[in-house]
Amino acid sequence: MFNSNAAARVVQELRGLAGAAPAGTRLPSVRELTARHQASPVTVAAAIRQLVAEGLVETRSGRGTFVAARSAAPSSPPDMSWQTVALGPRRFGEEEMQALLALPPSGAIPLTGGYLDAHLQPAAALGAALARAARQPAAWQRGPVEGREDLRSWFARETSAPTPIPSDPGLRAEDMVICSGGQAALSSTLRALTEPGDTLLVESPTYLGALAAAHAAGLRVVPVPADRDGVLPDQLAAAFTRTGARLFYCQPLYANPTGATLSPARRPAVLAALREAGAFLIEDDYARDLTIDGDPPPPLAASDPGGHVIYLRSLTKSAAPGLRVAALGARGPAGARLRAARLLDDFFVAGPLQQATLEFVTSPAWHRHRRTLRTELRTRRDALLTALHRHLPHLVPPTVPAGGLHLWTPLPTGADDVAVATAAATAGVVVLPGRPWHAAEPPGPHLRLTYAAAPPSAMDEAVRRLATVVPVTRP
């Protein structure tokens, strides 16, 4: 068993000894360290590996651990200032993306982060599947560029409607390509289907990683208003006409950050707007496995015989962020271009990871995990809502999302969401401001509060801390 406190003690002792002794000095054996720090051999080995990686110690096979030779420390850091001249200005969105992926400071309660907290991840099942996959030599060989056929079939079947259109088989294995996570899939799609200078329509607000990827691809981003029922179809049609855009990025199910689901009444109108404009829609179905209430509607890709929808489904949200496996589905020449783009980007996703994923999603553990997740997410969402009702009733969102990971809470008119988020971090609760989720001026200040990253028992204290920094009325 790995014990992080014991590992820290071992690291501290070895670091001290290595710093004081000349290169080549023998350090205490694993057995001595195990006894002295009441640590398991696994913990001691991990601590030694850390110091080897830092270059402080070296291991010699069968002989033990020794102080490593030190390279002379540079007298002053090298001058890299020329690079900013060569590189020009920083790209839009990079800082926001770093904030999105930042780990919370210790002691702070995270109401942020786009992934499940470690307790909700099926780590044991994933680990067992990966260990089995890694032992099979075939998994390490070069596979098809578009990914394993059996895994592509699984993703394709997941998109099918309960009552398919008789004349249309929907997405099939040959339409799918396996990618290393949703963000990579999104970046490849934007690059494959657009030229720099093209316009991308996005529902607003939207996932800031999509905004950042669009800017990195040199696209002009135009927001289309959305409400609790998803994007407004007449505004979408008007935006296609006005801008000449041929691509629209959208999350029809439990959108990040708002939690909105495109209503049944709007789905045909959105598809009609695409057909009318001769345009594509990237359907980012990131939250299909994060349903809390009821059953999710089928993906839009299930009612798209004309091939307008580029379907994207990632497993990182429902399983673990380290499971870098997603799939893109597209038909016709667009599908061929996407597969070609993926080849340029990274050849293919690691074979053991694909095999482990297939094993996991086709095992009973996957269904058990999703059932548990539904209950756990409901408990967390409801605990956060209860805490808001108690401490910050004016931040309770007007609609409760039926799935996903986040609440999108309105701040009082005139409040500065960025200042509130900064003050909240100082008060010991991490939240994200709403502003970076908009491609243009936000209609009002919001916070994104994530309920998946902290236990239900922490929600009351998190919102109590938040209440100390949220203005009650216009400042």
Nearer to ligand PLP, 148 or 288 (CB): 288
In the complex, the smallest distance separating the C-beta of residue 192 from ligand PLP, rounded to whole angstroms, is 17
Nearer to ligand PLP, 46 or 433 (CB): 433
In the complex, the smallest distance separating the C-beta of residue 436 from ligand PLP, rounded to whole angstroms, is 13
In the complex, the smallest distance separating the C-beta of residue 142 from ligand PLP, rounded to whole angstroms, is 24
Q: Which residues of this protein are in contact with ligand PLP, per CB under 6 A?
A: 114, 181-183, 207, 209, 251, 256, 284, 286, 314, 316, 321, 326
Which residue of this chain has its Cβ atom nearest to ligand PLP in the complex?
182
Nearer to ligand PLP, 194 or 256 (CB): 256
Nearer to ligand PLP, 33 or 179 (CB): 179
In the complex, the smallest distance separating the C-beta of residue 347 from ligand PLP, rounded to whole angstroms, is 18
In the complex, the smallest distance separating the C-beta of residue 238 from ligand PLP, rounded to whole angstroms, is 25
Nearer to ligand PLP, 209 or 436 (CB): 209
Q: What residue type is assigned to position 425 of the chain? A: A
Nearer to ligand PLP, 45 or 114 (CB): 114
Three-state secondary structure string covering the chain: CCCHHHHHHHHHHHHHHHHHCCCCCECCCHHHHHHHHCCCHHHHHHHHHHHHHCCCEEEECCCEEEECCCCCCCCCCCCCCHHHHHHCCCCCCHHHHHHHHCCCCCCCEECCCCCCCHHHCCHHHHHHHHHHHHCCHHHHCCCCCCCCHHHHHHHHHHCCCCCCCCCCCCCCHHHEEEECCHHHHHHHHHHHHCCCCCEEEEEECCCHHHHHHHHHCCCEEEEEEEECCEECHHHHHHHHHHHCCCEEEECCCCCCCCCCCCCCCHHHHHHHHHHHHCCEEEEECCCHHHECCCCCCCCHHHHCCCCCEEEEEECCCCCCCCCCCEEEECCHHHHHHHHHHHHHHHCCCCHHHHHHHHHHHCCHHHHHHHHHHHHHHHHHHHHHHHHHHHHCHHHCCCCCCCECCEEEEECCCCCCHHHHHHHHHHHCEECEECHHHCCCCCCCCEEEEECCCCCHHHHHHHHHHHHCCCCCCCC
Nearer to ligand PLP, 151 or 467 (CB): 151
In the complex, the smallest distance separating the C-beta of residue 209 from ligand PLP, rounded to whole angstroms, is 5
Nearer to ligand PLP, 28 or 104 (CB): 104
In the complex, the smallest distance separating the C-beta of residue 185 from ligand PLP, rounded to whole angstroms, is 7
Nearer to ligand PLP, 179 or 392 (CB): 179
In the complex, the smallest distance separating the C-beta of residue 440 from ligand PLP, rounded to whole angstroms, is 19
In the complex, the smallest distance separating the C-beta of residue 103 from ligand PLP, rounded to whole angstroms, is 15
